[in-house]
Amino acid sequence: MKSFISVIITFSLLIFAFFANYFFLRNQTQIVFDDLLLLEKYAINEDKKMLKESYNALETDWEKVSNILFIFSYHTDLEDINKCFIKIKTRIKSEDFYGIVEEVEIAKHIIKGASKKEMPTLSNIF
């Protein structure tokens, strides 16, 4: 009887941890997504100062998220997002505003897809 209860408790804790992880990742990726929206806004307005500040905030938020996503997510998505951020940084230096908007759109698309891949489903749990 004790072993049955311990199995139930362990299973419940695993499910709780999975859902807590999912909601945490969803919240954190939304923060990065919002940073990308701001970056896109400043690139469209060609505001160089705010563009650099927004990119620094994006890098800081991405560092927090990428370490956790590295454990739970697809590594190719993370590599693609990192490549986009490198391209964004070089385009900020060269003041290629159209290129920045283009790379931001690509990064937003990848981030949306990466967070959806981590949605809890029965196949993920079992």
- Report CA 40 to chain centroid distance, whole Å: 16
Q: For the domain with range 2-125, which CATH number is right: 3.40.710.10, 1.20.120.290, 1.10.357.10, 3.30.2420.10?
A: 1.20.120.290
Predicted local distance difference test score (pLDDT) of residue 22: 78
Domain ranges of the chain: 2-125
Assess whether pLDDT exceeds 60 at residue 36.
Answer: yes
Query: Phi and psi for 73 in degrees, rounded to 5?
Result: -120, -175
Assess whether pLDDT exceeds 70 at residue 2.
Answer: yes
pTM above 0.85, yes or no: no
Token pair of 119 as six digits: 């949605």
Torsion sign across C-alpha atoms 48, 63, 38, 44:
positive
Assess whether pLDDT exceeds 80 at residue 68.
Answer: no
